[in-house]
Structure 1
Amino acid sequence: MSVHTTLKSALIGLAALGLTVTGALADQLDDIKAAGKITVATEMHYAPFDILENGQYVGFNRDLFDEIAKELGVTPEYQDLPWTAILPGLEVKKFDFVTAPVTYTPERAERYAFTAPISDATVMMVQKAGGALTKPEDAKGKTVGAQQGTAQLAQLEAFGKKIGGITIKEYASTDEAYADVAAGRLDAAVASAPLINYMVKQRPEVFAAVNPPFGDPTYFGFVARKEGTETLIKAINDAMAKMQADGRFAKIQEKWIGAKTELPTEMPKL
């Protein structure tokens, strides 16, 4: 092999390496702004955060992310997917971002980039109105429902071991679990406290919250992929901080959750 050929091969190799590094360092926020839109996924059956009402997408997250998108200068495009398909879909780049409320856990933090908290996510039980549970510990020996693949399911499993045993039934959605509670087929179901409190407020003749919340205090956030999203996460956090300062965040909280709640400016480490 000649010196010329060897040098040429080396230069081609370096060029290829340069392209690889450039690709790896691609900034997702730049790509989103160039496209003029951000494609996001959520499950539109998670009131009060995501609701499909007469074919229209509404809820806390819709109002919040519409305002965030305005701050980013892009148009949001929303996709409705089953919860179990959302995080895997993010990883294989079927969409840009996840606006479903994702409960922060150390395991998820290793895999995904979290925004600052959008809401409290501490787990709570709900039972049929007039039910026998006076506190979460009364669920010992009872059957309690939870949505598959959620942090609330994991918290329920740990709580069941702690109090001496709970029969757990898994559901594809919280709505299905709530329906079985209302029909008397379940003693209780679990979800985050904002969801339970919203539902009980809407249907007090059917459901009753089991107070207090239990398990480790935690928060919901939005999530992105780990690589190339640092500026995107910062821009979204900056937008939420601006909304907290000018009162827009509080108005959305009051509209959908019923009260203003102070939240950390970054996701607390567990």
Structure 2
Amino acid sequence: MKTKWGICTVVTVSIGLMAGCSSTGSFNEGDTYTVATDNSYVPFEFIEDGELVGFDIELVELIAEEANFEVEFEQMEFSGILAGMETSRYDLGIAGITITEDRAENIDFSQPYYEAGLTLAVLEGNEDIESIDDLTESTSVSTRSSSTSQSYLEDNTDADIEAYPEITEAYQALLQGHVEAVLYDVPNVEFYSQSDANGEIVRVGERLTGEDYGIAFPKDSELRDVVDEALTTLKENGRFDELYEKWFGESE
């Protein structure tokens, strides 16, 4: 799969015929709901040949089909998605969002749909950093702003953290020698290292933390239960597994 990385301006992508306008918090069959996402988290959501694609995008489309509603996507930086859920600006959000206790205080989540985790990565040939334990106050590490990776670095290391709005910027900082390592979610690090980085970036150390991705909603949204029910059905009828295997291969 040929990918195109980059930062795009906020655009709207409509899926299906617009059957009405949503009222955030309530649910009506046939209505159109706004999905907040970004476009730089391969293979979950990214731009290919000018189109927004990815596992998360197709998953939301399947859920909408199963639950009989329409969706339109709005693309933005990751931090804007979380803020949009807290202020009820958007109906739901999906962007490889890790379910955490802190986030759950301000927004609601669906059931988990992907098991992730964090990993540290360095340039090929770096023998000084072999695990998270090798990070010191003089070690510069890049990551994505407002992510659990940034929180992990702040809570567990003394590293000099450089956080970027887009994870692609964090990888570029490593490739260009501005930082010595990058910390982010396992699937994205593996995908980027094998594609755009051409093997120049390699994982080191063990997988850090056990993390699950969930679909985000404003607090007390009726749409959450509707999405959860549809997601459960997709897992039971095999359509979720088909989509998972398309993007990640057979699950372990």
TM-score by length of 1: 0.78
User: 1:74 Cα deviation (Å)?
Assistant: 1.6
Tell me which residue corresponds to 1:137: 133
CA deviation map 1:158-196 (0-9, x unaligned) = 220xxxx21111111111000111122211111111211
Q: Secondary structure at the match of 1:100?
A: coil
Paired residues in the alignment total 226
Amino acid of the residue matched to residue 155 of structure 2? A
Structure 1 or 2: larger helix share?
Answer: 1
Tell me which residue corresponds to 2:156: 159
Is 1:210 aligned to residue 207 of structure 2? no
Tell me which residue corresponds to 1:175: 168
Amino acid of the residue matched to residue 129 of structure 1? E
CA deviation map 1:123-181 (0-9, x unaligned) = 11122222223222223342111111111100111220xxxx21111111111000111
Q: Secondary structure at the match of 1:62?
A: helix
Q: Which has the larger radius of gyration?
A: 1
Amino acid of the residue matched to residue 93 of structure 2? V
Tell me which residue corresponds to 2:27: 29
Q: Secondary structure at the match of 1:29?
A: coil
Tell me which residue corresponds to 1:265: none
CA–CA distance in 2 between the matches of 1:76 and 1:91? 20
Choose the corresponding residue for 1:53, options 48, 56, 60: 48
Tell me which residue corresponds to 2:194: 201
Tell me which residue corresponds to 1:8: none
RMSD of aligned residue pairs (Cα, Å): 1.9
Is 1:76 aligned to residue 74 of structure 2? no
Q: Percent identity?
A: 25
TM-score by length of 2: 0.83
Q: Secondary structure at the match of 1:145?
A: strand
CA–CA distance in 1 between the matches of 2:211 and 2:107? 16
